[in-house]
Amino acid sequence: MGVSVTDAGPAGSGESNTAVKRVLDEVLSGLRKGRYVPGQRLVAAELAGKLGISQIPVREAIHILSGKGIVELIPRRGARIRALSTREFLNVLEVWIGICRLNYLDAAKVLSVAADRQNLSAQLQSLQDIKQAIQLAGKNRIAIDFFNSYVQLYDICAEINANPYLNSIRSPLPVELYYRHVADFLPGPYWEEYITNISSIIDAIAAGEPAQFTDIWDNHISMITDYLQSELEKRQ
């Protein structure tokens, strides 16, 4: 889940929208995979050449990303991936923690109903697949893979909830940019705790245990927010 063409405003031609979407996907997937990093310039001619399109949809996509806080436009110098300030980073963190908690808690509540579980076998399998991906990323100590799987967890739980409002809240957040920043210093010394906690969170959701989820989640968030605050203070 990420920025969509329709987030930007009135739609143009289908062909134009497709080209814009390709640029959006290229930049967002590039952030997730490390091809693009905060501070890196985005050159319209290079993106157009790489994707085999004109520079017009590239510029449109860059303006969409600018509106979402992922890219910043620099007069006479083009555009670059934004580097979040400490305040911006903490603001995104606070909102993301809040909507994740709501999303995961609601998913656990849905899965606590036997009749609902029967219709969600594919999503339950996806939860286990994400758990395995998170554990593998932890074993290999690849932070960005860990956090990319975590974003997938949000999307699967939103499917379980079938709540369009959770998707609409998620869409404007620059989560890909946030995790590109956070992967620089998390999980840090807490890899084992991270793997254990997120695996237990997934297990509680899948088991339909809202109270168990809440206890594990609140303890996990307390641990990471304390560590993040400490690390950010050191880096200022």
Q: What residue spans define the domains of the chain? A: 5-81, 86-235
Distance CA 22, CA 18 (A): 6
CATH of 5-81, one of 1.10.10.10, 1.10.1380.10, 3.40.50.2000, 1.10.10.1100: 1.10.10.10
User: What integer pLDDT is reported at residue 14 of this predicted model?
Assistant: 61
Low-confidence ranges of the chain (pLDDT < 50): 1, 5-11
User: What integer pLDDT is reported at residue 7 of this predicted model?
Assistant: 45
User: What integer pLDDT is reported at residue 19 of this predicted model?
Assistant: 94
Nearest residue to 89 (alpha-carbon basis) of 173, 188, 151: 173
* pTM, full prediction: 0.80
- Asked if the domains 5-81 and 86-235 are classified in one and the same CATH topology, the answer is no
CATH 1.20.120.530 fits 86-235, yes or no: yes
